[in-house]
């Protein structure tokens, strides 16, 4: 049974060589949602997540909403264990798969087939299990002969097809997706949404960051709103 619990979690990181000039600070505020911590010399501290708490359990399908820079991507990466908490406690049980920015986890010099095996092995599959999943990934991605070519030759839509096909081939306990439906043609987006609905029906925890409120309503049963690194739970039925 999967769980993902955040207890008073804060994530901060430094930006070096950022002098305390008003223009420089204003640009940092725009890019990070506005929380700038103490400054020491040329170091500015950014608080990406600010003392947040929530609990996710099996059956939760959660939409993350908020403006650019609100902390959605940072929260997803902290959920995945990519970013460490500066303060607070995180409890995570269950396997995790992610679909984040284009190309994450891929070696652009390797072929599509080689990247499929590489990513599946990194997700904890045995080599035999990874090879057994290749036909399904090949079929879903519809990349055909492009799978023998280096990933650096792919368009952004082709890269997303491959990433999504790999991430959803394994039925992880926790699936985290960051804004993937803005990439790819309409047919692929519909195909991906149908696959997500099928996955959610038999999943434990699903978290999806998106600006598409109608899609969140179709896929999710809870919604968390981020504002300047803070998190609030909204009523999904009242989501505009």
Residue 148 lies in a domain: no
Residue 53 phi, psi (nearest 5): -140, 135
Query: pLDDT (tens digit, 9 = 90+) per residue, 133-152?
Result: 999 999 999 999 999 999 99
The answer to the question of residue 125 being in a domain is no
Query: Within a domain: residue 190?
Result: no
Residue 22 lies in a domain: yes
Region label for 142, one of left (φ > 0), alpha (ψ between -120 and 50) or beta (otherwise): left
- Mean pLDDT, residues 81-107: 85
Q: Whole-number mean pLDDT of the chain?
A: 85
User: Going by C-beta distance under 8 Å and a sequence separation of 6 or more, which residues neighbour residue 221?
Assistant: 59, 60, 61, 62, 236
26 in a structural domain: yes
Q: Comparing C-alpha atoms, which of 73, 115, 75, 98 is closest to residue 164?
A: 98
Closest CA relative to residue 167, chosen from 228, 229, 109, 106 = 106
> Could you tell me which residues are beta bridge partners of residue 13?
46
Instruction: Using the predicted structure, report yes or no on whether residue 184 has a pLDDT greater than 80.
Output: no
pLDDT at 158 over 80: yes
Statement: residue 37 has pLDDT above 70: no
CA-to-CA separations, 207 to 130, 146, 181, in angstroms, rounded:
24, 30, 14
- Under the banding of pLDDT at 50, 70 and 90, the label for residue 104 is low
Let me know: does 76 contact 176? Beta carbons within 8 Å: yes
* Edge-to-edge order in the sheet of strand 205-209: 96-99, 174-178, 205-209, 60-65, 222-227, 230-234
Task: Say if 178 falls within a structural domain.
Answer: no
Residues contacting 235, CB < 8 A, separation 6+: 223
Query: Taking the model in full, what pTM does it have?
Result: 0.77
Phi and psi (nearest 5°) for 118? -60, -50
Burial class (CB in 10 A: 0-12, 13-18, 19+), 235: exposed
Tell me whether residue 167 is in a domain.
Answer: no
**CATH number, domain with residue 81:** 3.40.50
Residue 172 pLDDT grade (very low, low, confident, very high; cuts 50, 70, 90) = confident
Q: Count the domains in the chain.
A: 1
Q: Is the pLDDT of residue 45 over 60?
A: yes
Binning pLDDT at 50, 70 and 90, where does residue 41 land?
low
- Asked if the structure places residue 230 within a domain, the reply is yes
Given this model, what pLDDT does residue 75 score? Answer: 95
- Is 60 exceeded by the pLDDT of residue 35? no
Q: Cα–Cα distance between 230 and 220 in angstroms, integer? A: 20
CA-based diameter of the chain, in Å? 57
Helix (H, G, I), strand (E, B) or coil at 237: helix
Using the 8-state DSSP alphabet, how is residue 144 labeled?
A: G
H or E stretch covering 166: helix 156-167
Domain containing residue 45: 3-95+209-238
């Amino acid at each position: 049974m999967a769980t993902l619990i955040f207890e008073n979690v804060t994530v901060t990181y430094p930006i070096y060589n950022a002098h305390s000039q008003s223009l420089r600070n204003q640009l940092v505020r725009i890019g990070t949602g506005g929380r700038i911590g103490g400054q020491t010399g040329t170091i500015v501290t950014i608080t990406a997540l600010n003392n947040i708490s929530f609990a996710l359990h099996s059956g939760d399908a959660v939409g993350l909403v908020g403006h650019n820079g609100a902390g959605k991507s940072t929260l997803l990466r902290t959920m995945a264990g990519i970013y460490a908490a500066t303060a607070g406690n995180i409890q995570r049980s269950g396997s995790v798969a992610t679909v984040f920015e284009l190309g994450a986890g891929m070696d652009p010099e390797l072929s599509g087939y080689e990247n499929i095996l590489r990513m599946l092995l990194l997700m904890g599959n045995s080599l035999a299990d990874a090879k057994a999943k290749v036909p399904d990934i090949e079929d879903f991605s519809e990349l055909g002969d492009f799978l023998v070519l280096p990933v650096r030759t792919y368009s952004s839509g082709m890269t997303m097809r491959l990433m999504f096909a790999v991430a959803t081939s394994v039925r992880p306990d926790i699936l985290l997706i960051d804004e993937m439906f803005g990439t790819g043609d309409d047919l692929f987006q519909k195909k991906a949404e149908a696959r997500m609905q099928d996955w959610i029906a038999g999943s434990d925890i699903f978290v999806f960051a998106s600006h598409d409120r109608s899609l969140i309503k179709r896929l999710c049963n809870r919604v968390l709103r981020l504002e300047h690194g803070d998190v609030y739970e909204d009523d999904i039925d009242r989501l505009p």
